[in-house]
Amino acid sequence: MCWCGTNIAKMVDVEDVAKEMSKLKHVVLAKDYKYMCSDPGQDMIIQDIKEHNLNRIVVSACSPRMHELTFRKALENAGLNPYMFEMVNIREQVSWVHSSRSEATKKAKALIAGAINRVYWHSSLDKRSVEIDPTTLVIGGGIAGLSASLKIANAGINVFLIEKETVLGGMLKNIDLSFPHFQGANELIKKIVNRVANHPNIKAFTSSQIKEIFGYVGNFEAQILSKDKEELIKFGSVIVATGLKTFDPTPLTNYGYGKLKNVITSLEFEKMLSQGNVLTSDGSEPNHIAFIHCVGSRNQDYHPYCSRVCCNTALKQAKQAKMAIPSAQVYNLYADMRSIGKDNEEFYANSFNRDHMFLMFDQQKALPLIKSASPKDNCNLIIEIDELLSGESLEVPADMVVLMVAMEAQHNAKEIAHATGISMCGNDFYIERHPKLDPFATTTAGVFLAGTCQSPKDIPDSVTQANAAAARILAAIKKGSAEVEVTTAEVNEELCCGCQTCVKVCPYTAIHFDPDKKVSVVNQILCKGCGTCGSSCPTGAIKCHHYTDQQILSQIEGLMQMSYELEEDLL
């Protein structure tokens, strides 16, 4: 029993639960500890296994998604098969969702009793591994994809680099200077692109798209559609680095984008800065430039998330505008300032102390309204804003308004997800295997993430994630093999009727029909043990290792029995 500090212990009486569990059949030892996932907590488990000759372990703590692998490794270190283990989630599923301590404690007891019943029927599962083809596929030719490609290629490994645009460079090729130190982003990306283009171990495909990917970790194949030609390539690992695109602000009618002249996006303004030509539509220098933040970000009607780089980009562009036109008045209209990253808070403080005016609006209640100015206003546009800090309604003069647009998923994000077998969140970003412990891997073995396709991030974070993904692949290549899922499905040929229902429902295309035997066959490498086939099989011919009927039914029985006994005690 883990206290998880106060996360569990505040709502669940862990000491009472441990005492109750110690009375159950087959339970040799029941302990509670403040942080079971810590090194001392794991050492305690290892020591108890050896000292008491334990052959089954139940840990009740947080979500298995967080620490199941941690505890399985502890069992291995104690010489016990890692699948002789069951984890009970009494944090997210008990403590965090209850307001009554007594009821939460009762629920925890029932769940743990079910796990104790279940683990009795667990059996040892042996690890399975496959050889790895060292060649690597990188999808996306932006800063993340290029960095990952170079890291792997410099280790002597061949890389296929796929880019849908006509040239490499991604979003960064449109950026003039980077924040917060005003380094030449365009020059930086040109150098990296040149290194990639001339690297003997990298074969780059531009104007190309992935049509389909087959196979499994270590042994993938893909069809590439490149300039109206199809090509088949083979590789062992994949890095998805497809990046993001900018939000189209046209639907935000308050801002008049596409209707009002001199209302432009941050990317369009960046092109002006790159060309050294900050001019209004009539060719004159603007005397008043306004930057409106969070356009399409942190807005429930469009994107609820923060795009992370917009605030710093606005500060950078405002400074560049001031350097280009020293006499211009610069305004930052913001909802909240979020200067994320090293040296960026100082960058913001420096801007705040300069002659930049900062005006705050309520993102949820009243967005600024841009309208054409009258001739007497001596400017092109007027921005009406309910300024929060002063509590006043203001009219801000502007000759040019720059909309700091959100970053959003690419148009073909779902196609790439389907091709690579990875999952997406509600915002169409790709989902990592674990948000803290494995933020660049995916639930599909051999497929990794790099850069902004996982979530908005700046250049340093994108490069860091790309190098981490590359390092993971190089480590697997050096090892020569990769472990694959063992909690897979298996078909009992004597019970299989050949209906092929399982073939149709398998989301991983891991099942095929053997016409000679007239039975379905599971590819143990492709199978992820999701259980879809087992639940749909009309004859019960499919067994999922580690999720057998006996295990699941015994867990339900244990849960219900404990619940009944607790209710009886109350009566």
pLDDT value of position 16: 96
Stretch 215-226: mean pLDDT, rounded?
Answer: 93
Q: In terms of domains, do 367 and 253 share one?
A: yes
Number of domains forming the structure of the chain: 4
Q: Residue 60 — very low, low, confident or very high, per pLDDT cuts 50/70/90?
A: very high
Q: In terms of domains, do 324 and 395 share one?
A: yes
pLDDT value of position 566: 85
Q: In terms of domains, do 360 and 462 share one?
A: no
- Which of 407, 432, 467 terminates a domain? The answer is 407
Which runs of consecutive H residues, i.e. helices, occur in 441-540? 459-479, 501-505, 532-536
Q: In terms of domains, do 183 and 279 share one?
A: no
pLDDT value of position 528: 86
Q: What is the pLDDT of residues 554-567, one digit of tens each?
A: 999 999 999 888 88
Decide if 7 is inside a domain.
Answer: no
Decide if 397 is inside a domain.
Answer: yes
pLDDT value of position 250: 97
Is 80 exceeded by the pLDDT of residue 353? Answer: no
The answer to whether 372 touches 259, Cβ cutoff 8 Å, is no
What is the 3-class SS of 8-60, one letter each residue?
CCCCCCHHHHHHHHCCCCCCCCCCCECCCCCHHHHHHHHHHHHHHCCCCEEEE
The answer to whether 351 touches 318, Cβ cutoff 8 Å, is yes
Is 90 exceeded by the pLDDT of residue 65? Answer: no
Stretch 138-161: mean pLDDT, rounded?
Answer: 98
Q: In terms of domains, do 92 and 81 share one?
A: yes
> What is the C-alpha radius of gyration for the chain, rounded to an integer number of angstroms?
29
pLDDT value of position 571: 55
Q: In terms of domains, do 505 and 540 share one?
A: yes
Report the distance separating Cα 369 and Cα 350, nearest Å. 28
**Average pLDDT of every residue of the chain:** 94
Q: Closest Cα partner for 87 from 103, 106, 68?
A: 68
The residues with which 245 forms a beta bridge, in sequence order, are 408
pLDDT value of position 570: 59
The answer to whether 34 touches 44, Cβ cutoff 8 Å, is no
Q: Closest Cα partner for 545 from 81, 113, 60, 114?
A: 81
Q: What is the pLDDT of residues 321-345, one digit of tens each?
A: 999 999 999 999 999 999 989 999 9
CATH code for the domain in which residue 515 is found: 3.30.70.20
Q: What is the pLDDT of residues 276-320, one digit of tens each?
A: 999 999 999 999 999 999 999 999 999 999 999 999 999 999 999
Tell me the range of 82-91, 176-185, 208-217, 418-427 where mean pLDDT is highest. Answer: 82-91
Stretch 160-183: mean pLDDT, rounded?
Answer: 95
The answer to whether 309 touches 281, Cβ cutoff 8 Å, is no
- Which of 483, 501, 522 terminates a domain? The answer is 483
Q: In terms of domains, do 298 and 401 share one?
A: yes
Decide if 276 is inside a domain.
Answer: yes
Q: Closest Cα partner for 451 from 472, 427, 434, 430?
A: 430
The token duo for 197 is: 């283009």
CATH code for the domain in which residue 286 is found: 3.50.50.60
The continuous run of DSSP H or E covering 41 comes out as helix 39-52
The answer to whether 484 touches 525, Cβ cutoff 8 Å, is yes
Decide if 6 is inside a domain.
Answer: no
Report the distance separating Cα 167 and Cα 62, nearest Å. 46
Q: Closest Cα partner for 58 from 8, 10, 121?
A: 121
What percentage of the chain exceeds 70 in pLDDT?
Answer: 99
pLDDT value of position 541: 96
Q: Can you say how many angstroms the Cα of residue 482 is from the centroid of all Cα atoms in its chain?
A: 22
Report the distance separating Cα 177 and Cα 183, nearest Å. 5
Is 90 exceeded by the pLDDT of residue 28? Answer: yes
Q: What is the pLDDT of residues 227-255, one digit of tens each?
A: 889 999 999 999 999 999 999 999 999 99
DSSP character at residue 517: T
The answer to whether 526 touches 508, Cβ cutoff 8 Å, is yes
Strand pairing report for 202-205 and 208-216: unpaired
Q: What is the pLDDT of residues 497-548, one digit of tens each?
A: 999 999 999 988 899 999 999 999 999 888 889 999 999 999 999 999 999 9
Q: In terms of domains, do 389 and 444 share one?
A: no
Using N-to-C axis directions, what is the helix angle for 344-353 and 310-324, rounded to 10°?
A: 40
Is 90 exceeded by the pLDDT of residue 38? Answer: yes
Q: In terms of domains, do 399 and 254 share one?
A: yes
Q: In terms of domains, do 253 and 357 share one?
A: yes
Decide if 279 is inside a domain.
Answer: yes
Decide if 131 is inside a domain.
Answer: no
Q: In terms of domains, do 252 and 391 share one?
A: yes
DSSP character at residue 286: P
The token duo for 389 is: 């800090």
pLDDT value of position 485: 84
Q: What is the pLDDT of residues 381-430, one digit of tens each?
A: 999 999 999 999 999 999 999 999 999 999 999 999 999 989 999 999 99
Provide CB contacts within 8 A for 283, sequence distance 6+: none
pLDDT value of position 227: 83
Q: In terms of domains, do 203 and 346 share one?
A: no
Stretch 369-382: mean pLDDT, rounded?
Answer: 95
Q: Which domain holds residue 531?
A: 489-544
pLDDT value of position 62: 95
Is 80 exceeded by the pLDDT of residue 466? Answer: yes
Decide if 8 is inside a domain.
Answer: no
The whole-model pTM stands at 0.83
Decide if 9 is inside a domain.
Answer: no
Is 90 exceeded by the pLDDT of residue 435? Answer: no
For the ranges 157-166, 179-188, 464-473, which has the lowest average pLDDT? 179-188
